[in-house]
Amino acid sequence: MMPLHRLRSLAAPLLFFWAATASAQSAPGYTPLFDEGLKSVALRLGASRPTPSNGFDKDAKAGPGLSLQGLYYAWDWVGVGADLGYHTFGKDANALALDAIVRLNFLRESSWSPYLMGGAGHAQSSVTRNGAKESSTGGSFLAAGGIEAFVLRGMSVSFEARFTAFRGGGSGVESLAYLLGAAFWFGYD
């Protein structure tokens, strides 16, 4: 059974998402659809949690995370683009990654859609372990799932859960982030 404090932490993002999309549901003809040729720029903010891999959760604490993302919809259900993510884990660790991404929407020609996203790129991370600072540069990999809905003609809101692996010269670090965001859309006829 899920602990009560975890249920409460999920309530705020779900309430935010529901409230932001309530007006779009009352006027479905006004909101646009995910469509071929659209472009978006998104900012997502949330919390990043270290995973137990390599003892990272013992060396770092949860902290803020953000993502700046650009997408181009080559088809109405597939977007390609780039994602710049920055995650801090308390005062002892941080990671920055630039990834090429592919996003797959589950609903075509809809004003909202659950989605999956994956990507790979380059990362820099810094972790203080046992009083010594370790910095590394290497690959990054991300896998995410979320839901996004248009609230206005040029704006959508989203909630996303994201796993990111930052691989460097050492053993690397991994995180799980929960992000709320807004995207601004361009390319309408």
Tell me what pLDDT residue 31 has: 59
Would you give the DSSP letter of residue 106? Answer: S
Tell me what pLDDT residue 92 has: 78
Tell me what pLDDT residue 10 has: 57
Cβ(79)–Cβ(71) below 8 Å:
yes
What are the b/e assignments for 84-112, b being 16+ CB within 10 Å? ebebbbeebbbbbbebebebebeeeebbb
Tell me what pLDDT residue 17 has: 52
Tell me what pLDDT residue 133 has: 80
3-state secondary structure of 6: helix
With a cut of 70, list the residues of the chain below it in pLDDT. Answer: 1-32, 54-57, 59, 168-171, 189
Residues whose CB is less than 8 angstroms from the CB of residue 65 and which lie 6 or more positions away in sequence, other chains included: 45, 46, 47, 48, 85, 86, 87, 88, 175, 177, 179
Q: Which two tokens stand for residue 57?
A: 């959760």
Termini Cα distance of the chain? 49
Tell me what pLDDT residue 26 has: 46
Q: Which two tokens stand for residue 157?
A: 């809101």
Fold of 4-186: Porin (2.40.160)
Tell me what pLDDT residue 89 has: 86
